[in-house]
């Protein structure tokens, strides 16, 4: 299920990028290409479509992100890392045996 949702997240993200790039921040963009001709979808309708598509894809991306978070596979509680298991297996050793100084003889003084 998680993989399925993440696939949709990637598809929606790519579509959102394409829709945003098709828009011009000054009101032109893809809609300005149809200014000279009078087609079925006029300039205003194209701009409205791009705006509605942007909002729809943005909301879909947020919803899919929440769903992906909910369906994300959780690790088992008892699963430990290799380092953590080695630390727990290692027994604390006794203090190291440092050489003890011997009594100094009269000749060393």
Structure confidence at residue 106 (pLDDT): 58
What does R_g of the chain's alpha carbons equal in angstroms?
A: 34
Burial class, 12, CB count within 10 angstroms (exposed 0-12 / middle 13-18 / buried 19+) = buried
Count the Cβ atoms, other than its own, within 10 Å of residue 19: 21
pTM of the model: 0.54
Q: Write the CA distances from 52 to 16, 27, 45, 87, 89, integer angstroms.
A: 11, 15, 10, 56, 59
Query: Can you give the pLDDT of all 109 residues of the chain as single tens digits?
Result: 888 999 999 999 999 999 988 887 665 555 555 555 545 555 567 778 888 999 999 999 999 999 999 998 887 766 667 787 777 777 666 556 677 777 766 555 5
Strands (E), 34-102: none
d(CA 7, CA 10): 5
Phi and psi angles of residue 27, each rounded to the nearest 5 degrees, phi first: 95, 0
| Number of residues that this document lists for the chain | 109
pLDDT at position 1: 87
- 52-76: pLDDT as tens digits: 999 999 999 999 999 999 998 887 7
Domain ranges for the chain: 1-23+38-73
């Amino acid at each position: 299920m998680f993989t399925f949702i993440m696939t949709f997240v990637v598809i929606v993200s790519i579509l959102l990028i394409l829709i945003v790039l098709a828009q011009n921040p000054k009101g032109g963009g893809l809609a300005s290409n149809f200014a000279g001709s009078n087609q079925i979808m006029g300039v205003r309708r194209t701009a409205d479509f791009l705006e509605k598509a942007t909002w729809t894809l943005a909301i879909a991306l947020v919803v899919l992100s929440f769903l992906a978070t909910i369906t994300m596979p959780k690790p088992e509680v008892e699963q430990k890392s290799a380092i953590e298991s080695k630390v727990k297996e290692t027994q604390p050793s006794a203090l190291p045996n440092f050489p003890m100084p011997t009594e100094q003889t009269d000749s060393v003084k």
